[in-house]
């Protein structure tokens, strides 16, 4: 298998570095996202204590009885807030649903923006008060890290560093806490059922806070599956389809999946927490002029971020 470029980059070099360090970080992240669509990031502002508390709260949430969790599954929200039960999401092109359940936390508007009427309220887990406060803190820290990453990406694209700032401020971003639940009898599920079928993310970029077990793989340009591993508390960051559309395929929204472990390990849970960084729904996803030339004609028709999200949620079965 050929070498896969998934560099480990220190975001602090971009936030607090000199001009040369910022340029190097921007070049490194841009090149990796062009080649493989994935990087790992340290210096992101979340310490080990907070990450450990997050996973402690996430495990406690999914340990609640199904009858309790189902109280927080709200019809009509397409899974965008609160709980989504087991095997409700199906990767595009797959027949068997993913072997997972999840909880989603969205944007909290605090500056009086008109968008407060556009976003549904987050659901409060009465049984676990610390889950609510921990996930809110993690949401804000990942949103801040994501904005810095987009500034570095903008520089790589020869755009002003602040190009994305007003587009993602109060954006429709989602923090998803995931539980790949135990399977005590692997023979009871369809052969094609996996923890997360091969897919691409919908959003601009995804920031993943570790995972409790291995299993994440990306599809290389040589059409081979390659395991993605992070050091300790590093973030795994990847390009979503919105950014791929915007950059006319210059940045790569790479197909990835979460594979099942060996049958004897299916009886153990796996947890992970991705942050899907979305812009405001009105953002235009027309290809950037800087990413179009004679060799790279426009590949996509115009659409807003909100229209695109709606289309994709229907494809994966969360919206009817």
Within-domain flag for 3: no
**Whether the predicted pLDDT of 292 surpasses 90:** yes
Within-domain flag for 106: yes
Within-domain flag for 16: yes
**Whether the predicted pLDDT of 192 surpasses 80:** no
**Whether the predicted pLDDT of 211 surpasses 70:** no
Within-domain flag for 2: no
Within-domain flag for 116: yes
Rounded mean pLDDT of the chain? 92
**Whether the predicted pLDDT of 80 surpasses 80:** yes
| Number of C-beta neighbours around residue 36 at 10 A | 22
Within-domain flag for 75: yes
pTM of structure: 0.94
Q: Would the CA dihedral through 139, 144, 145, 150 be positive or negative?
A: positive
The residue assigned the tokens 């801040």 is 144
> Residue 213's pLDDT is what?
60
Q: Percentage of residues in the chain with pLDDT exceeding 90? A: 76
- Higher-confidence residue of 242 and 193: namely 242
Q: How far apart are CA 190 and CA 150, in angstroms?
A: 40
**Whether the predicted pLDDT of 314 surpasses 90:** no
What's the pLDDT tens digit per position in 256-274?
Answer: 998 888 888 888 899 999 9
For range 36-64, the mean pLDDT: 96
Q: Percentage of residues in the chain with pLDDT exceeding 70? A: 96
Within-domain flag for 60: yes
Within-domain flag for 320: no
Q: CA neighbours within 13 Å on the CB side: how many for 185?
A: 3
Q: What is the CATH number of the domain that holds 17?
A: 2.60.120.330
Q: Domain range holding 49?
A: 8-315
For range 150-156, the mean pLDDT: 98
Model confidence band, residue 91 (pLDDT cutoffs 50, 70, 90): confident
| Least confidently predicted of 45-54, 122-131, 263-272, 290-299 | 263-272
**Whether the predicted pLDDT of 99 surpasses 50:** yes
> Residue 121's pLDDT is what?
94
Task: Return the closest-CA partner of residue 198 out of 216, 222, 212.
Answer: 216
> Residue 1's pLDDT is what?
45
For range 98-102, the mean pLDDT: 91
For range 161-187, the mean pLDDT: 92
SS (H, E, C) the chain: CCCCCCCEEEHHHHHHCCHHHHHHHHHHHHHHHHHCCEEEEECCCCCHHHHHHHHHHHHHHHCCCHHHHHHHCCCCCCCCCEEECCCCCCCCCCCCCCCCEEEEECCCCCCCCHHHHCCCCCCCCCCCHHHHHHHHHHHHHHHHHHHHHHHHHHHHCCCCCCCCHHHHCCCCCEEEEEEECCCCCHHHCCCCCCCEEEECCCCCEEEEEEECCCCEEEECCCCCEEECCCCCCCEEEEECHHHHHHCCCCCCCCCEEECCCCHHHCCCCEEEEEEEECCCCCCECCCCHHHCECCECCCCCCCEHHHHHHHHHHHCCCCC
**Whether the predicted pLDDT of 25 surpasses 60:** yes
- Higher-confidence residue of 3 and 63: namely 63
Please count the structural domains in the chain: 1
């Amino acid at each position: 298998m050929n070498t896969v470029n998934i560099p480990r980059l220190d975001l602090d070099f971009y936030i607090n570095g000199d001009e040369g360090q910022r340029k190097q970080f921007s070049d490194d992240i841009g090149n990796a996202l062009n080649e493989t669509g994935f990087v790992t990031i340290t210096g992101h502002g979340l310490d080990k204590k907070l990450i450990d508390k997050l996973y402690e709260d996430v495990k406690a949430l999914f340990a609640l009885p199904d009858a309790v969790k189902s109280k927080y599954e709200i019809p009509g929200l397409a899974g965008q807030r609160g709980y989504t039960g087991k095997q409700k999401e199906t990767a595009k092109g797959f027949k068997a649903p993913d072997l997972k359940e999840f909880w989603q936390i969205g944007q909290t508007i605090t500056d009086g923006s008109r968008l407060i009427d556009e976003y549904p309220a987050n659901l409060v887990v009465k049984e676990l008060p610390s889950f609510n406060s921990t996930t809110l803190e993690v949401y804000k820290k990942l949103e801040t890290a994501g904005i810095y990453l987009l500034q570095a990406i903008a520089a790589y694209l020869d755009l002003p560093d602040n190009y994305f700032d007003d587009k993602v401020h109060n954006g429709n971003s989602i923090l998803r806490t995931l539980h790949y639940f135990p399977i005590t009898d692997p023979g009871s599920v369809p052969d094609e059922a996996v923890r997360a079928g091969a897919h691409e993310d919908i959003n601009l970029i995804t920031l993943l806070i570790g995972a409790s077990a291995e299993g994440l793989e990306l599809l290389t340009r040589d059409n081979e599956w390659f395991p993605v591993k992070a050091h300790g508390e590093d973030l795994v960051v990847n390009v979503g389809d919105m950014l791929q559309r915007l950059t006319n395929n210059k940045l790569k929204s790479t197909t990835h999946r979460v594979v099942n472990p060996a049958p004897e390990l299916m009886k153990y849970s796996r947890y992970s927490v991705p942050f899907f960084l979305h812009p405001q729904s009105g953002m235009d996803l027309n290809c950037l002029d800087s990413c179009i030339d004679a060799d790279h004609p426009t590949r996509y028709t115009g659409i807003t971020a909100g229209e695109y999200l709606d289309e994709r949620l229907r494809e994966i079965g969360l919206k009817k």
